[in-house]
Structure 1
Amino acid sequence: MYQYTEFDKAFVRARAAQYRDQLERNLAGQLSDDDFRPLRLQNGWYLQRYAPMLRVAVPYGEISSMQLRALSRIAREYDQPDAALLRDAQEKQLALGEVPVPGGTPVVTRFKTGYGHFTTRTNVQFNWIPLDKSADVMDLLASVNMHGIQTSGNTIRNICTDELAGVAADEIADPRPFAEILRQWSTLHPEFAFLPRKFKISINGAEEDRAALGWYDIGLQLLKDPAGELGFRVQVGGGMGRTPIINSVVREFLPWNQLLNYVEACIRVYNRYGRRDNLWKARIKILVKAEGQRYIDQVEEEFGRIRAAGAAHTITQAEYDRVAACFVAPAAKPASRDARMLDIVRADAEADPEYDRWLVRNVHPHRNPQLRSVTLSFKRLGQAPGDADADQLAAAADLVDRFSSGEARVTHSQNLLLPWVHQDDLPALWAAARKLGLARANIGLLTDMIACPGGDFCSLANARSLPIAEAITQRYQDMDELHDIGEIDLNISGCINSCGHHHAGHIGILGVDKDGKEWYQVTLGGADGSHLSGPAVPGKVVGPSFSAAEVPEVIEAVLDTYRRERITVDGKGETFIATVRRIGLDPFKAAANAARFTERELA
């Protein structure tokens, strides 16, 4: 992991102290709420539907056991609203009604407190911290080199990478040093503090795109030219939201040391010409789509001017080496030397068929043949996707120390990955994680779904996401059935802002407002760019919107159609996304619309 220098530590502490002063002046009436709003947002503090929400930055998803324990303490000590606020929130949610699940238990959000939430962009959020306690939380975060800087606002947000960065067997080059260099360069960048709209960058260092590059404002793919020189393919202008667009390649090969100069040129042109008169047309994707080659020409001209002016941000070999030195592999931690105990644990694990499934679904190849990467699943019945309570965060920290050299990764799919697990420790890790409820062998399957907090928390949402996620999870608890359905991405967003990345889901669910009521659009055929999904593409809507009660029925009808229509190729069953692409949407549309309830049934 990157090791904060004394300058880094002092910077984060000073930022926390600055925020405390701003908060105290606001609470004392010396700084108006309107004046305080941009200041708190710059530090990751939002005011949501019922309470403040804090977004904690986890750059490129890398997090230490020490930091996980700090997050656990925040959940336990600070993510605690007063009883009146919680009661009011619960009453409002109960008034919205339950999501019926035929053959199951009706679902409505039961608010819980004392937990963190892993996001799709590898940050961590808290939903119930009182604002008057927020400065204390910032101090606690600073003590473990964490903060909320630039997790909000029209700035360059958290830099993302592949969750297997530095450990993947198919890696071309480690993207983490470049992500860290970009983070340092972009933090409080004076020229880019007030962009037309928020700006997101992702870097992939592997042959397979596991960083969803096509969906980002700037996507950077590490590669080597015919001479073996390292560089980037630069893609610009992707995004979800109201107008989903896959970004365009603007440079096939950029030498690695020109990364900052070229990114600066891309953002500078956007800052100059991006629309500021319309919130829905302010993202760079709109500019790139409208201008096409003219945007690329402007970037190349700006890049030339930057280099001619002295190229102040050219990355030197010495600077790269300094940062890269923080990302060397930890010393190999030998497995338990108690051979008898190791044999007992292994025998117990291998006698359980769920262990084999866990090895297939949750354990990933590693560049070091003695090691594996292992995903802890935070997707289970009764817990919103990506939620982790204080006890789970603390227990996960213990697993990270015991099995992964003190380092973990928050993943795009809202789980936690341990990147440095010795292969001999796999049975012991499985046994320990199973006791904690974190070893469910569902990674990449239907119940490993992505969901935003939706209308239960977010003031922008049109509909609730979490009861829909719970209803589908409740219906698909049989592991044999889940494994028979196979790999599938199910993504849920509560509004068009697409925080649940529904556009990229093989099945996407979008909450919409219709006559003041909650309805849901279903899309099929979306992809994030991974090997399983194929090239990034937005899904297509399969008919009119459905009621909350109908959504589980629609999903079941779609999956039944897939299981009926799939074929076997070379002895292997066809995946859901492959079947959709082979037969088209019409059979799925017919099935989805046939699952619609009558007005009498809805009543």
Structure 2
Amino acid sequence: MYVYDEHDRKLALERVEQFRDQTQRALAGELSEEEFLPLRLQNGLYVQRLAPMLRICVPYGMLRSDQLRRLARITRDYDKGYAHFTTRTNVQLNWPRIEDVPDILAELAEVEMHANQTSGNCIRNTTTDPFSGVQADEVADPRPYCEIIRQWSTFHPEFAFLPRKFKIAMNASERTDRAAIQVHDIGLQLVRNDQGELGFRVHVGGGLGRTPMIGPVIREFLPEADLLTYLEAILRVYNRYGRRDNKFKARIKILVKALTPEGFAEKVETEWQHIKDSPTRLTPEAIEHYRSYFTEPAYETLPDASELLAQQRFENREFDQWVAHNVDAHKRPGYAIVTLTLKKTGIPPGDVSDAQLEHIADLADEFSFGEVRSTHEQNLVLADVRQDRLLELWQRLRPLGFATPNLNTLTDVICCPGGDYCALANAKSIPVAEAIQRRFDDLDYLYDLGKIDLNISGCMNACGHHHVGNIGILGVDKKGEEFYQISLGGNSHHNASIGKILGPSFAQEDIPEVIAKIIDVYVEQRTEEETFLDTYQRIGIDPFKERVYA
């Protein structure tokens, strides 16, 4: 993974001291709240319902064990002893004191972390597939390109005050999309053209919120050397033509729709012609420089462990279930990719305690070359585990609560913090997630149902990505009371789609039974090979609507 050089370290420390001065002036009354607002937002500091919230950047989801230990200490010393992993792979602290934030940022800088541009109308954290670099089917490792984008976009003066926040995601797998690139402002799919040259298919104008949209393709193939110049052309067009008079119509998706994808692409191409040969164009040497940071760890040549693993699975049904659902194939023989689920019933999805963070750091050192990855689904990944040590790892994970074998099932819920924390939320999300997990607590039944994405958001800002859940739940306000709207048919992977609203909303206590009725229709109507999404796409929304509102 990327390691800071002297320029990175100096920049991070200078930024901390700048914000320390800004915070002290704000607390002394020398800066008004209006003046302090953009300064604190671009350093990741929000003011939430009950306390400040600090969003810490985790570029493309990569964390070292020493960084996990520092996060653990920070949550213990400056917060209430836990942290929250978000759908954009970042970490949030929900209870820091404003006066402590500069000290927190200083501690983060010591382990090459920061909170730069995790909020504000700027380019946010670039995200990618948590299996990057270890899966066999990827076109190329996307992480070097994510790092290139991160360095280019950090403190870029032209893009510090865009019409609205801006998010970029990249995917490299031809089989699936774990980064949800089609619902980002810019989504980049690594591809090779007919000549075998590496480049990107460029989607622009995706996004969720009040006006959910799937990002159309504006360029089928962009050579890798042109990555930054083309992104800069997109941002220039957005900065110039994006609306600033109405924040609800300020995202780039509104501009792309207004101009049409073809019209927007034409403006980008025109702008690009002026800058495509500028010094920002990537050279082979620059690309190789960043690739050099993402070398393979010290893999061993391992004996075939398939027979041992088969015997262990045969002898232990619970271990077998965990391997079947939480372990994925690795590109190197003898290794496996392991997902630690942060979805144990009774714990808010994505939450981890300070002690758990320290245990994860220990496990990363012992089992996965000192590295952990956070995911869009609010889980964690150990990407390089020896197959002959999977049983040992599972035994260590169980008492920590990370071995729940429910990955990609109905109870592997994506969920925002909702009304328990967020000042923007219309309704709570966490109790709804727990109620559904308790209603569907039979693992055999969950496995029989197969893959189902269930996403919950507490408001239309859609931090829980409810629009692209196979089943989506949205908290709404009805005359001061909390209700929940259901949508069906969303999908965040290849061939992404926006879910359709089922009908009138429901009270919180009704949601588990409503979900049960939806599942009943699926079970009755599915064919042997169909997933929930397959069945929905075949029969449409009406059978579900008729059952739920009968």
**Fold-level match, TM-score > 0.5?**
yes
Q: 1:263 aligns with which of 210, 231, 236?
A: 231
2:273 alignment partner AA: G
Q: In the alignment, which residue of structure 1 is the partner of 2:545?
A: 589
Q: Does 1:417 align with 2:376?
A: no
Matches of 2:451 and 2:190, distance apart in 1 = 27
Residue 206 (str. 1) matches residue 173 (str. 2): yes
1:553 and 2:513 are equivalent in the alignment: yes
Matched, 1:168 2:135: yes
Query: What residue is the counterpart of 1:580 in the other structure?
Result: 536
Shift of 1:294: 2.0
Which of 452, 456, 462 is 1:498 aligned to?
A: 462
In 2, the alpha carbon distance for the partners of 1:39 and 1:568 equals 55
Match for residue 104 of structure 2 among 120, 127, 137:
137
Paired letter, 1:6? E
Measured after TM superposition, the shift of residue 191 of structure 1 is: 0.3
Post-superposition offset of 1:347: 6.9
Deviation at 1:346, TM superposition (A): 9.3
Aligned to 1:528: 492
Q: Equivalent residue for 2:366?
A: 402
Q: The residue matched to 2:549 in structure 1 has which SS?
A: helix
Structure 2 unaligned spans of 5+: none
Q: Which runs of 5+ in 1 are unaligned?
A: 81-113, 595-603
> Are the aligned partners of 2:123 and 2:153 in contact in 1 as well (CA < 8 Å)?
yes
Aligned twin of 1:24: 24
SS, match of residue 282 in structure 2: coil
Determine the structure 2 residue equivalent to 1:459: 423
**Equivalent residue, structure 2, for 1:326:** 293
Q: CA deviation at 1:168?
A: 1.1
Task: Give 2:254's match in structure 1, choosing from 286, 290, 295.
Answer: 286
Residue 117, structure 1, aligned to residue 84, structure 2: yes
Is 1:540–2:508 an aligned residue pair? no
Structure 1 Cα separation of the partners of residues 297 and 138 of structure 2 = 18
User: Residue deviations 1:246-275, cap 9 Å, x none?
Assistant: 111111111100000000001100100000
Counterpart of 1:388 in structure 2 is 352
Offset at residue 335 of structure 1 (A): 8.2
Deviation at 1:135, TM superposition (A): 1.4
Deviation (angstroms), 1:536: 0.5
CA distance in 1, matches of 2:316, 2:404: 13
Residues 120 and 414 in structure 1, CA contact (< 8 A), matched pair in contact too: yes
Paired with 1:348 and 1:527, the residues of 2 have a C-alpha distance of: 35
CA contact (8 A) 2:302 2:333 kept: no
Aligned counterpart, 1:64: 64
Q: Which amino acid aligns with 1:474?
A: R
Q: Quick one: distance in 1 between partners of 2:84 and 2:541?
A: 34
**Conserved 8 A contact 2:309-2:387:** no
Q: What count of residue pairs does the alignment treat as equivalent?
A: 546
Aligned to 2:472: 508
- Partners of 1:12 and 1:62 lie apart in 2 by 18
TM-score by length of 1: 0.88
- TM-superposed CA distance for 1:344, in Å, is 11
Question: How far apart, CA to CA, are the structure 2 residues paired with 1:445 and 1:38?
Answer: 40
* 8 Å Cα contact 2:308/2:388 also seen in 1: no
Please say if residues 520 and 546 of structure 1, whose CA atoms lie closer than 8 Å, have aligned partners that are also in contact.
Answer: yes
Query: How far apart, in 2, do the equivalents of 1:218 and 1:193 lie?
Result: 17
> Residue 10 of structure 1 aligns with which residue?
10
* 1:46 equivalenced with 2:46 (yes/no): yes
The Cα shift of 1:345 comes to 11
Instruction: Output the CA distance in 1 between the equivalents of 2:514 and 2:313.
Output: 37
The aligned counterpart of 2:122 is 155
Matched, 1:127 2:94: yes
CA distance in 2, matches of 1:344, 1:359: 13
Distance in 1, Cα, partners of 2:314 & 2:285:
48
Residue 351 (structure 1) shift: 2.2
Query: Identity percentage over the alignment?
Result: 55
Task: Give the letter aligned to residue 10 of structure 1.
Answer: K
Please give the per-residue CA displacement for 1:335-362, whole angstroms capped at 9, x wherever unaligned: 89xx9xxx99997765220111111110
Cα distance in 2 for residues equivalent to 1:136 and 1:253: 45
Structure 1 residue 351 corresponds to structure 2 residue 288: no
Q: Deviations over 1:178-220 (max 9, x none)?
A: 0000000000100000100001111111112222111111111
Does 2:191 align with 1:223? yes
Give the whole-Å Cα distance in 2 for the aligned partners of 1:323 and 1:222.
16
User: 1:302 is aligned with what amino acid?
Assistant: E
In structure 1, distance between residues paired with 2:196 and 2:296: 23
The whole-number CA distance in structure 2 between the counterparts of 1:543 and 1:371 is 47
Q: Say whether the 8 Å CA contact 1:159–1:201 is kept in structure 2.
A: yes
Separation in structure 1 between the aligned mates of residue 43 and residue 89 of structure 2, nearest angstrom = 17
Q: Deviations over 1:386-442 (max 9, x none)?
A: 001111111111111111001111000000001111111111111111121111111
Partner of 1:189: 156
C-alpha deviations, 1:547-578, integer Å up to 9, x for none?
A: 11111110011111111221214xxxx21111
Deviation at 1:444, TM superposition (A): 0.4
The one-letter code of the counterpart of 1:294 is G
Instruction: Output the TM-score relative to the length of structure 2.
Output: 0.97
Retained in 1: the 8 A contact 2:345–2:437?
A: yes
Alpha-carbon separation, structure 2, partners of 1:541 and 1:233: 30
Shift of 1:33: 2.5
Answer yes or no: is the 8 Å Cα contact 1:155–1:193 preserved in 2.
yes
CA contact (8 A) 2:372 2:380 kept: yes
Report which stretch shifted further, 25-34 or 120-129. 25-34
**One-letter amino acid matched to 2:544:** F
Moved more, 142-151 or 24-33: 24-33
Distance in 1, matches of 2:516 and 2:106, equals: 47
Please give the alpha-carbon distance, in whole angstroms, between the structure 1 residues aligned to 2:53 and 2:325: 33
Report the Cα distance in structure 1 between the residues aligned to 2:315 and 2:13, rounded to whole angstroms.
51
Contact 1:333–1:405 (CA<8 Å) still a contact in 2? no
Tell me the secondary structure at the aligned position of residue 200 of structure 2: strand
Tell me, yes or no, if the aligned pair for 1:270 and 1:284 is still in contact at 8 Å. yes
The one-letter code sitting in structure 2 at the alignment partner of 1:295 is F
AA at the equivalent of 2:424: L
How far 1:510 moved relative to its partner?
Answer: 0.4
Q: Distance in 1 between matches of 2:312 and 2:539?
A: 44
Note the alpha carbon deviations across 1:467-505, whole angstroms, 9 max, x for none: 101111111121112112211000000000000000000
